[in-house]
Structure 1
């Protein structure tokens, strides 16, 4: 089965400990689809290689 073309994540690091965040980053690093991530965790966004950001006020 082919992976989905787009995955949407809303605050994916909420309620995760450091080990869980590292596993999430590793999983997303290998993901070959598009990601839409709503979040404020700058380290996560950098670690997963976010290339475009939008801010809402």
Structure 2
């Protein structure tokens, strides 16, 4: 889930950068890209993966 959100944020950052849209300092393309990288790192660390820590019992 976090990887999908980060991909959407990367796409939004790309659109802001490619279209030269004037935004304020909070929503600049580099800030959105950094939020996307943070979400991607959290996804790779296993934060959004659910309750799979116990494992399955048969």
Q: Is TM more than 0.5 here?
A: no
Instruction: Name the larger-Rg structure.
Output: 2
Identify, as 1 or 2, the structure richer in strand: 1
Task: Give the TM-score of the pair, scaled to structure 1.
Answer: 0.33
